[in-house]
Amino acid sequence: MLEKIYEYQLQNKLNIEIALELTKQALETQNIQVIEILAENYPRTVVEVLQIDPNNADFILESNSLFFQIKEHFSPKEKQILLQKLIPKLFRQAKRIFHAIDRTRYPMKIPYVPGSSWDLEKTVANFLLSGDSYFTYNHVICSKRKWKQKYAVLLIDKSHSVLSYLKLIILTSILFSLTLNIKEISLIGFDTRTEVIKGFIDSQMTTQDIITKLVNIRSGGKTDIFLALKAAKKEFSHQIGGKKTLIIISDLLATSGMDFLPILSQMEDVRVILTPRRQTLQLTSPILGKLRKLPNIKLYLMKPDERTIPAMLEKVLYD
C-alpha cells in the first residue's frame, strides 16, 4: 500500500477520495504507517474514517505522531476520550523509563581538596565502577556535598517538522519533570509562538498538570528558535544565582525568526537534543557544524525508539 501512495504522490493524483479509500483499507489491516502518511496531508479525511471506539482509540495512540497530527480535527468528545487514555498511558511509560535510569552510575560530588572528609564506601564504589587500575583523588567522593543550585529551562519544539517525534518529545519532557526538582524547571513549547507550559513561578504544578498541558499544546507551525531563546532568558531572569542549564529538543530547522546563534552562544550551559529527519538533515548540517564549535553547547541524539530514552537522558543529565 505504501508503494501505491508514493505512486499517487509522484503522479500528483493523491486526492481526498483516494485518501479516504486508502485510509479505510489501512484501518482494516491495522496499517498505522500508511495512516500516518495520509494524515500529513489529509487529517480531516483520516478523522472521518477513524470513528472513536475503545479499539480505535488504542490503535491511534500506538503511533508516535498520529494523535498530534489529527487531534485538532476531532470533536471535543472524541478528543476527551483519547486524552483520558493518553495521559495515564504517558505517565506510566514515563515512570517505567524513569526507574530504568541508573543514576548511581553518575555520582555527583564536589572536587576533593586536602582536608576534606571522604565517604569511604562511595569512594571505593566509585573507584571500582571506574575500571581504572590505579586510585587517584579523582575517585574520591566527599562526605559533605556542597550542591550548587541548578535551574533548567526546557524548550520543546512543537513545529510541523517534528510532529513524528512529538510523542517522544513529550515523554522526554515528562521525564525531566520527574527527574528534576519541580521548583527548578521551566518548560516552554515553541513554533512561531512560545507557550509557557510550566514556569519557575508555577511551583504548585504536579506532573499530572504538566502532562495535561503538554498533550494539549497546539502544534504544527513554523520554527522560531530566536523567539524561544528570548522566552528562556525571561524565565531565567526570575532566578538569582545558581547554574542555569538550557535544554532544547528540536530538529533545529529554523524556518522563521532571526539568527539564533548569537543569543545561544551567550547561554551558560546548553544541551541540544536533536530529532533528526532525513528530509531536514541536509538543511540543518551547517548549523550543527557551528554549534559543535561552541564550548557551552553539548549535542545529543533522540532516536525514534522509547527504549533508547534512558541512555540519552543519563548523558544529558549527568555529562
Question: Would you kindly state where each structural domain of the chain is located, as residue ranges?
Answer: 2-71, 109-139, 148-318
Across 197-222, b (16+ Cβ under 10 Å) vs e yields bbbbebeebebeebbebbbebebbee
Cell numbers given for 270? 546548553
Rounded to an integer, what distance in angstroms lies between the CA atom of residue 157 and that of residue 195?
11
Evaluate whether 187 touches 163 at the Cβ level (below 8 Å): no
How high is the mean pLDDT in each 10-residue block of the chain (319 residues)? 73 84 89 89 90 80 88 90 92 87 55 67 82 83 61 92 88 88 89 93 88 87 91 92 91 88 93 83 84 94 87 83
CA distance 97 to 174: 10
Could you read off the pLDDT of 15-55 as tens digits, one per residue? 888 889 989 998 889 899 889 989 988 999 999 998 877 67
Convert the pLDDT of each residue in 164-206 to its tens digit. 888 999 999 998 888 887 788 999 999 989 999 999 989 888 8
Output b/e per residue, 114-125; b: 16+ Cβ within 10 A: eeeeebeebbee
Q: By the 8 A CB rule, do 22 and 4 touch?
A: yes
How far apart CA 196 and CA 152 sit, in angstroms, is: 14
Fold of 148-318: Rossmann fold (3.40.50)
CA–CA–CA angle 283, 169, 197 (5° rounding):
110
